[in-house]
Amino acid sequence: MEEKINLIHSQKQNIKTIISRLQKEFPGAKCALEHETPHQLLVSTILSAQCTDARVNMVTPSLFKKYKTVKDFTTANQNELEKEIYSTGFYKNKAKAIIASSKVLLEIFKGKIPQTVEELTSLPGVGRKTANVVLGTVFNIATGIVVDTHVSRLSQRLGLTKQKNAEKIEQDLMKIVPQKHWILFSHWLILHGRKTCDARKPKCSVCVLNDVCPSASKFLYMVEESRIQAVTSKTNVREFLTT
- Backbone φ and ψ for 153, nearest 5 degrees, come out as -65, -50
Check if the beta carbon of residue 133 is closer than 8 Å to that of residue 121: no
Can you tell me the distance from the alpha carbon of 104 to that of 132, in angstroms, rounded to the nearest whole number? 19
Residue burial 95-131, b: 16+ Cβ < 10 Å; e: rest: bebbbbbbbbbbeeeeeebbeebeebbebebbbbbbb
Smallest CA-to-CA distance from 31 within 45, 20, 50 is with 45
DSSP-derived letter for residue 153 is H
Active-site positions? Answer: 129, 148
Smallest CA-to-CA distance from 150 within 190, 186, 209 is with 190
